[in-house]
Chain A
Amino acid sequence: MGSAMNFQVVVLAGGVSKKLHPLVSKDVPKALLPLGNKPVLSYVLELLETSSLKEIILVVAGEDAALCVSNWVAETVHDRLRVEVIAAPEDSDTADALRSVMHRLTAEDFLVVSGDLVSDVPIGAVAATHRRQGALITALLCNRALLGSSEPGSEKIKLQPVSDIIGLDSTQQHLLYVAPGAEIERDLRVRRSLLRAVGNMEIRTDLVDAHLYAFNRLLVQGVLESRPTIKSIKQDLVPYLVRTQLRLGVPSTTVGSPAEDKDNQHPPSLPDTEVFAQLLRSSQCQHRATASSSPLKCCTYIASKGKFCVRVNSLQAYLDMNREIAGEAIHLTGYEVSSHNNVIHETSQLGWKSTVGPQCMLGEGSTLGERCSVKRSVVGRHCRIGSNVKIMNSVVMDYVTVEDGCTIQNSIICSNANLQERCCLKDCQVGTGYIVTARLELKGEALAKKEKL
């Protein structure tokens, strides 16, 4: 199916995100952050694999991070997927990252996926929708209510704040308006001509752009080349395409030409724009012939209600996702669930009277001392946990040492960290290799070793 579909996939795996400080570092880029004891990136790759999308270009920001990721790829997935890891300059935005790999794309259409997406939406269905509609761009949307609601019996269902304003046509198949990020607090400016073309637009705040798009390659290539000011896929490229889709759909020279005209005035910088314009036109004609004659070229795939679709792009999302993965969304991991509704690796050891509650994970080779209690938490591999330790709503990564009498609540403890006895952490993040001294009581702190310069 993969090659027949002729889709290539660009996975934007990010780099060392500031939002996830102090969890990520040069050694642990965002893509390799453990989520339910597996790197975040593995979820996307597995999802792609199930849809037989095997041609993958993985863009990582920063050389060091790229090296880490490519090592991991070589170790784990190289036998199943054709993954090419490419380093983009650090702090380059998404559209720039895409520009840097544009020349490697050959397929008629390609997918762009964020590397921090955790989802069970069939990506193949998104690609198929894209093809069926003859779309120039297809975006995956999911319900906002889904994100926080899957905690069973939780006191309050957390509704995420409105993050995207999305306009759909009455069939809910076409994307007519997107107001991302900063624009959502402003008044809405909707293109009248677009409104006229459809007659009726539904503006939704309960949908979230999952940052998974299918693009027509020639179109995006042309737009990215001729519009160097486009920095971000979500903030610039998608809104631009959505706004101008009526024009994009019209292959006539009078209407579709001004951008090309402008380009022609600067032939040195953009030598092949004329070729592009012709290609674009022919590809559109072809689309027109095969697919619907709708003038709307931006389509959507809305994930059905039960589906899971979250991006791990903030500390809170990371913490929530770990809990989800260990609980409701355990099917994403492929782990086998015990009769107690938890995942405890057979090599781990629990001391006398220690309990691991439901919806928890305990990784390979970890040991718990006596009278410990682990509730709604994920504990990684080879952790040594002393006696009388309480871990609640937290994530403990690999090779962490927790000494006797510690209490960890709603916190993230990174790999190789050491919590000395009777520490009490609440709402804290402890960076890699950090040592928390004994009897320290902390609340809401981010602790990390100073980065070596």
Chain B
Amino acid sequence: MAQLSDITNAVIRTEIEEFIDDPAEIERNVELFAKASAQMQEIAAALLEGDNDTVDQLTRIALDEGIEALEIMDDGLIAGMGIVGIKFRDGFIFVPEVLVCARAMKAGMAHIEPILAASGAEPAGTVIMGTVKGDLHDIGKNLCIMMLRGGGFIVIDLGVDTSPEEFLEAVAEHDAHVIGMSALLTTTMPNMAKTVEAFKDAGLREKVRFMVGGAPVTPEFAEDVGADGYGKDAMAAVELATKLAIEVRA
């Protein structure tokens, strides 16, 4: 079993020590970073500091040195974003800090994405995300998207005020099988059910999996509207999408 001292980067060590409480999460992160190269740890540390210029620069250097795009994504960017998610979930950081870290992640991914796309590497899955019809709240949805991208998913963001038809069209266009719907208003929550119904009417219900979330949404409500899962927060959304993507592929 790896030890905290096996991680060479001091910033990463401090982040794990100070901000992660759950023993299983500590173990997972220590394992992950202990096996990552010092260079990858440095990318993750820059991401955690929200330093997009450094992430951009270090990613370019790493690629120039011949390091695999997939390694940079997994051991640098996704690993760093994992800690960001934990810190946000546990209330150590707030939305602005997450946005800044996500911007740094994006700076790195700008170099990685074209390479991965050209190589035909399999993403964790493709997720269609949107805030439902009539609802213009999107901060929560956007945080989920950042974490999903940070978790290796391709995410098609339909934005806010998304009609059932727009979800249907997006699924056809992107050949995606996981759909995420967010709602913050009690008045718009019923539109989740309408979207699920529209997929039934189109004969596509069995081909896709629905996940739902947003402050007023509950697991019971998710069940009532016929969704396949409920995500309490952005971290949970990634776990759920992973499960649903596997399920739908099977």
Bind each other: no
CB within 8 Å of B: which residues of A?
none
